[in-house]
Amino acid sequence: MPFHRTLLLAIAWGTMVSAASAACLDDVQVDALVQHYFARTPAPVPQGLNAADAACTRAKFNALMEKRARVVGYKAGLTNPAVQQRFRTDQPVWGKLYEGMVLADGATVDPAFGARPLYEADMLVRVKSAAINQARSPLDVLEAVDQIIPFIELPDLMVVAPPQLDGAGVAAINVGARLGVAGTPLAVPAYRGERYALLEALRTMTVTLSDGSGAELARGQGADILGHPLNAVVWLTQALAQENLALQPGDLVSLGSFSPLLPPRPASTVTLRYQGLPGATPVSVRFR
């Protein structure tokens, strides 16, 4: 990036970085944040935001993003208590997913796909019915989706010093949504008894990440996400409603992380498996 442009971006952020208490980032600051996103260069850390500041900043960020790409869904983030602890919060956050973010199984990705690239074990669901917005239980969610999709998320924390991010800061950067690799969808069964069995399998499954040699990199359990992974959707619909937003049929929803966030290594392959989830197939990504 040319020096003069870098300097302008730094000046745009100066007030926020130096202020003892922050507020919603102004339009110039958010424009600078989006420029950093597309340049894949680290942005200053949005600090001192409260929940309202974060929501306001995220809304401005997404308004600029939507001029470039179509929204294809949403992601619930910080739904795992261990990940919440890393970002010093006890609440989930959410962001939007855009066209082109979801890649096919086996995709080859530049390990420097973002300014602060990471990967994690995740899962997608696809919305079948707008009734999902009234869901109050995992069963309600399951009855309003038609696919469970294996998913390795490739988030980008995108700031100079990710350890300085708190929950509000993560929300402000659209929860680091950047890329992800989706596997073969698992259809939601038609009969209620089969759905109850699927709900239990989602809760009790063991989720693993392994490298190209088969060595385990990380593992988690279905219940690590809010006691049941579909509770992430229950939370998300209620959070969206507070901002007059709602899930629509066809939307994809990323549920959050079953694993720690890990840095990609060049010339490596990562495979995600859901052990104990009948019909689920592995999904892999290769870092060139």
Cα distance between residue 197 and residue 248, in whole Å = 26
Please report which confidence band the pLDDT of residue 150 belongs to, taking 50, 70 and 90 as the band edges.
very high
The mean predicted confidence, pLDDT, of the chain is 93
Residue 45 lies in a domain: no
Residue 15 lies in a domain: no
Which structural domain, as residue segments, surrounds residue 264? 70-287
Q: Tens of pLDDT along 125-136?
A: 999 999 999 999
Q: Tens of pLDDT along 215-256?
A: 999 999 999 999 999 999 999 999 999 999 999 999 999 999
Prediction pTM value: 0.92
Residue 7 lies in a domain: no
How many structural domains is the chain composed of? 1
Residue 212 lies in a domain: yes
CATH of the domain at 273: 3.90.850.10
Q: Tens of pLDDT along 86-130?
A: 999 999 999 999 999 999 999 999 999 999 999 999 999 999 999
Residue 56 lies in a domain: no
What is the model's pLDDT at position 12? 43
> For the residues 169-197, what does the mean pLDDT come to?
97
> In b/e form, how buried is each residue of 201-234, taking b as 16+ CB within 10 angstroms?
bbbebebbbbeeeeeebbbbebebbbebbbbbbb
> In b/e form, how buried is each residue of 25-40, taking b as 16+ CB within 10 angstroms?
beeebbbbbbbbbeeb
What is the model's pLDDT at position 22? 61
10: pLDDT strictly greater than 80: no
Residue 97 lies in a domain: yes
Residue 16 lies in a domain: no
Residue 63 lies in a domain: no
